[in-house]
């Protein structure tokens, strides 16, 4: 059965209406409306305001914008968000604020540093009635999500959790609950969160009309690098929603809304619906006809659609962007005789959170208080380091060694994974290791970003697989990426590599020592690492990590163990170097699968493109020598193919081929170019086609060869067809004679 609300539903102040009070009074006193009035009772209008993917973006100094007819429109900020919610709610007799997940576990430091409790305080002030457990609500595991609701503390009070709020009160959790009809405990099969929420509105015929809202979590949550889990089972969303909707109807509820942490995209503006695609569109076509509206999230896109269900009746399907930039609004008109929504009378509208409205002062004050606390916290003394924690991605460093030691210590207890050693990659971004630290006194702000929030996990790997992983620190020439990484190893490991040997054969069976013993290639060892490597092993150049077995997640993330280490050891001992021994030498030449190639240095090339997904997916990412980054065509709104990326070689020169490294995350084919052409130009104006063809969707490198004596300054790759209608490439290299 669907979950029931508490006996009283906390109303939003702007939602109280005299007409509702009169109707309730009539029912309570036993009076009846005149027969003529009952016969002509108008439909009951119910408003659902949709908020999704806030991610803790509370401040109005985030410089967020939306495109407008006269240029970018400044938007966002929790104070303005609250003002717009109140304005919209004041236009409806019955209004509810419904979340579709990922409101907290965001990235602004001023909320993350306080266990996301500032976001909870703001959500309570907004008047949230219902929310879905998005994938990021599971970032620290199910117990953390539940404590955000009930207000329980963990760790050190005032350091890990339970900070006093902006008014000095104790943290007490959310005023609303989190829902997921499709999440169960893998061991017991029991639901871990309530599946739905119920409210009601007065019926002019007497009694009340019941309304149900079903929550659906993102099915891939347990495979997200931050929310990785082996304890939870995620049922397909449509099956779970249809089951609960059937139960609701059997219980007499006819007005039913689904809020899901899943979305889609379209090619129009935030307030329209042009060629929508994606999981939410597919779900809309098969969700039970009993469902009257669908509120989405997760994709950070915005559209307001009316799409047909399985029997051809249109219903609202909406996604309201992200970071508090947009409020979605769905209005349902309910027939008071049946308690069901009248077909064809519902609307869906997206409203930008503009700043041309006076922000709510209470919410503004909450945000400003937490920002001030964060500024003060950054300046607090947090220890002393006698020797610098140097950091590097391509050679052994003291910061990398310390990170590996901390991972190993956190995962060593059997309940945390039973780790025997640790391998930590320093070259995949600040979620794992972001920087080092200079010697001397340090503040909390100095320490804050050194290690990131990636979860620590432990998997089983054989000695032979560990050897393969260490060999994968050097990429073979076929990739087109010039990478030499240096996996950090825990202090009980010693590795020797001979750089004069070919890539893939630099570490022999006697070159890896664990606790002063040679690694047994046939034995399985428990290896602590970051969840990023387990789920995106191929993308980051370590495909063997994906073969790990029996995954266990440690309770704390990298940043947690780092900050607690500094808190306990104010005079931090810096680990010595010497765990990795590199024997210098020049490897024999290797042609790769395309024969001998001479590549033009990427430093001599610049790039432009017809579109890009964001600054992180710019054309420059295809020239940075990293297989883990990429250029990707725009997806919000999506830019239809063909899309192209153009390389400027700086001067006219003879060119023989274009080498293309597709995006390397093996489970995401989006953007891998399958049909293409290459154009060249000497003046940047007149381009001619010199090569065309098709490629498969694998991650292996591709090549487009040119006719002999082709000369060009500009080389353009045009993606005519690609995965999910996008164009992307991890690396581009030019071969010259």
pLDDT digits (tens, 9 = 90+) for 77-100: 999 999 999 999 999 999 999 999
Residue range 699-720: average pLDDT? Answer: 96
CA Rg, the chain, in Å? Answer: 28
Backbone angles phi, psi at 121, to 5 degrees: -60, -40
pLDDT tens, residue by residue, 130-181: 999 999 999 999 999 999 999 999 999 999 999 999 999 999 999 999 999 9
> What's the confidence (pLDDT) of residue 39?
54
| CB of 452 closer than 8 Å to CB of 431 | yes
CATH architecture of 382-583: Alpha-Beta Complex (3.90)
Long-range contacts of 544-550 (CB under 8 A, 24+ apart): 544/461, 544/465, 544/468, 544/469, 544/472, 545/459, 545/461, 545/469, 547/461, 547/465, 548/459, 548/460, 548/461, 548/465, 549/459, 549/460, 549/461, 549/524, 550/459, 550/460
pLDDT score of 517: 97
424: closest CA among 491, 487, 474, 496?
A: 487
Mean pLDDT of 337-363: 97
What is the phi-psi region of residue 151: left when phi exceeds 0, alpha when psi lies from -120 to 50, beta otherwise? left
Per-residue pLDDT tens over the stretch 246-277: 999 999 999 999 999 999 999 889 999 999 99
Report the percent of the chain where pLDDT is more than 70: 94
pLDDT at 25 over 70: no
Nearest CA to 135 among 286, 260, 293? 260
Structure confidence by residue, pLDDT tens digits, 382-414: 989 989 999 999 999 999 999 999 999 999 999
CATH superfamily membership of 593-736: Galactose-binding domain-like (2.60.120.260)
Cβ neighbours of residue 28 closer than 8 Å, sequence gap 6 or more:
none
Q: Is the pLDDT of residue 200 over 50?
A: yes
The two tokens of residue 659 are 């080498």
Give the tens place of pLDDT for each residue, 663-694. 988 778 899 999 999 999 999 999 999 999 99
Is pLDDT at 19 greater than 70 in this prediction? no
- CA atoms within 13 A of residue 239's CA, in its CB half-sphere: 6
**Distance of alpha carbon 567 from alpha carbon 383, whole angstroms:** 7
- The tokens for 27 are 């029912």
**596 has a pLDDT exceeding 90:** no
**Predicted TM-score of the model (pTM):** 0.88
Centroid of chain to Cα 386: 38
Structure tokens at 368: 């400003």
- The domains spanning 65-372 and 382-583 adopt the same CATH topology: no
Among 144-153, 490-499, 532-541, whose mean pLDDT is lowest?
532-541
Tokens linked to 462: 């054989």
Rounded-to-integer distance, Cα 418 and Cα 528, Å = 9
Domain ranges of the chain: 65-372, 382-583, 593-736
Check residue 52 and give left, alpha or beta (phi > 0: left; psi -120 to 50: alpha): beta
Q: Per-residue pLDDT averaged across 459-464, rounded?
A: 98
- 3-state secondary structure (DSSP) of residue 254: coil
203 band by pLDDT with thresholds 50, 70 and 90: very high
Q: What pLDDT does 31 receive? A: 42
Instruction: Calculate the average pLDDT of the chain.
Output: 92
What is d(CA 350, CA 618) in angstroms, rounded to the nearest whole number? 28
**Cα dihedral 455/458/459/464 (nearest 10):** 110
Q: Mean pLDDT highest for which of 53-67, 371-385, 534-548?
A: 371-385
What digits encode the pLDDT tens for the residues 44-83? 999 999 999 999 999 988 888 888 888 889 999 999 999 9
The Cα–Cα gap between 101 and 387 comes to 44
Distance CA 131, CA 135 (A): 12
- pLDDT class for 638, splitting at 50, 70, 90? confident
Dihedral (CA of 77, 79, 82, 88) sign: negative
Query: Is the per-residue pLDDT at 471 higher than 70?
Result: yes
Cα separation, 248 vs 292, whole angstroms: 13
The CATH code that applies to domain 65-372 is: 3.60.21.10
């Amino acid at each position: 059965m669907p979950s029931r609300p508490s006996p009283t539903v906390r109303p939003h102040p702007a939602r109280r209406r005299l007409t509702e009070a009169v109707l309730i009074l009539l029912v309570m006193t036993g009076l009846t409306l005149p027969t003529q009035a009952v016969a002509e009772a108008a439909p009951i209008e119910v408003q659902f305001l949709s908020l999704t993917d806030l991610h803790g973006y509370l401040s109005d100094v985030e410089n967020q914008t939306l495109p407008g007819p006269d240029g970018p429109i400044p938007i966002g900020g929790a104070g303005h968000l609250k003002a717009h919610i109140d304005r919209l709610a004041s236009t409806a007799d019955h209004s509810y604020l419904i979340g579709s997940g990922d409101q907290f576990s965001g990235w602004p430091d001023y909320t993350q540093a306080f266990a996301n409790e500032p976001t909870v305080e703001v959500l309570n002030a907004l008047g949230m009635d219902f929310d879905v457990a998005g994938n990021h609500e599971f970032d620290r595991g199910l117990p953390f999500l539940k404590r955000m609701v009930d207000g329980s503390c963990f760790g050190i009070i005032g350091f890990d959790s339970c900070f006093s709020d902006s008014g000095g009160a104790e943290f007490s959790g959310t005023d609303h609950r989190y829902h997921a009809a499709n999440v169960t405990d893998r061991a017991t099969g029991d639901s871990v969160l309530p599946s739905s929420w119920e409210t009601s509105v007065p019926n002019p015929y007497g009694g009340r009309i019941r309304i149900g809202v079903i929550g659906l979590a993102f099915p891939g949550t347990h495979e997200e690098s931050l929310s990785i889990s082996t304890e939870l089972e995620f049922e397909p969303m449509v099956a779970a929603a249809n089951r609960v909707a059937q139960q609701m109807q059997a219980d007499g509820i006819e007005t039913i809304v689904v809020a899901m942490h899943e979305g889609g995209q379209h090619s129009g503006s935030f307030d329209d619906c042009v060629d929508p695609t994606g999981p939410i569109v597919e779900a809309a076509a098969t969700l039970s006809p009993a469902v009257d509206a669908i509120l989405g999230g997760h994709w950070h896109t915005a559209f307001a659609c009316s799409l047909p269900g399985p029997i051809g009746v249109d219903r609202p399907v909406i996604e309201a962007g992200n970071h508090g930039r947009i409020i979605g609004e769905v209005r349902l008109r309910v027939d008071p005789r049946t308690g069901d929504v009248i077909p064809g009378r519902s609307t869906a509208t997206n409203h930008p959170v503009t700043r041309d409205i006076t922000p709510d002062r209470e919410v503004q004050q909450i945000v400003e208080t937490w920002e001030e606390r964060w500024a003060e916290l950054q300046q607090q003394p947090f220890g002393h380091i006698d020797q610098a924690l140097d950091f590097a991605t391509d050679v052994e460093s003291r910061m990398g060694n310390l990170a590996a030691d901390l991972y190993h210590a956190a995962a060593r207890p059997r309940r945390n994974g039973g780790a025997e050693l640790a391998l930590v990659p320093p070259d995949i971004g600040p979620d794992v290791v972001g920087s080092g630290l200079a010697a001397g006194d340090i503040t909390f702000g100095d320490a804050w970003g050194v290690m990131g929030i990636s979860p620590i996990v432990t998997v089983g790997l054989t000695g032979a697989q560990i050897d393969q992983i260490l060999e994968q620190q050097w990429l073979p020439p076929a990739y087109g990426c010039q990478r030499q990484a240096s996996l950090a190893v825990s202090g009980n490991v010693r590795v020797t590599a001979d750089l004069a040997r070919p890539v893939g054969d630099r570490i022999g069976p006697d070159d890896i020592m664990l606790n002063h013993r040679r690694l047994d290639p046939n034995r399985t060892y428990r290896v602590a690492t970051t969840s990023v490597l387990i789920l995106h092993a191929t993308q980051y150049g370590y495909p063997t990590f994906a073969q790990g077995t029996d995954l266990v997640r440690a309770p704390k993330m990298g940043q947690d163990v780092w900050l607690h280490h500094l808190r306990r050891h104010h005079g931090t001992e810096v680990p010595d170097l010497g765990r990795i021994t590199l024997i210098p030498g020049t490897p024999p030449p290797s042609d790769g699968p395309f024969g001998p190639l001479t590549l033009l240095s990427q430093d001599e090339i610049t790039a432009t493109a017809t579109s890009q997904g964001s600054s992180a997916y710019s054309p420059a990412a295809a020239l940075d020598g990293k297989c883990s980054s990429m250029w990707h065509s725009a997806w919000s709104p999506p830019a239809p193919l063909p899309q192209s990326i153009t390389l400027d070689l700086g001067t006219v020169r003879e060119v023989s081929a274009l080498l293309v490294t597709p995006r390397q995350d093996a489970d995401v084919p989006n953007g891998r170019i399958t049909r293409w052409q290459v154009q060249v130009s000497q003046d940047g104006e007149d381009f001619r086609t010199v090569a065309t063809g098709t490629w498969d969707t694998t991650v292996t490198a591709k090549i487009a060869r040119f006719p002999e004596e082709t000369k060009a300054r500009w080389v353009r790759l045009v993606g005519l067809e690609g995965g999910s209608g996008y164009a992307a490439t991890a690396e581009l290299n030019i071969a010259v004679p």
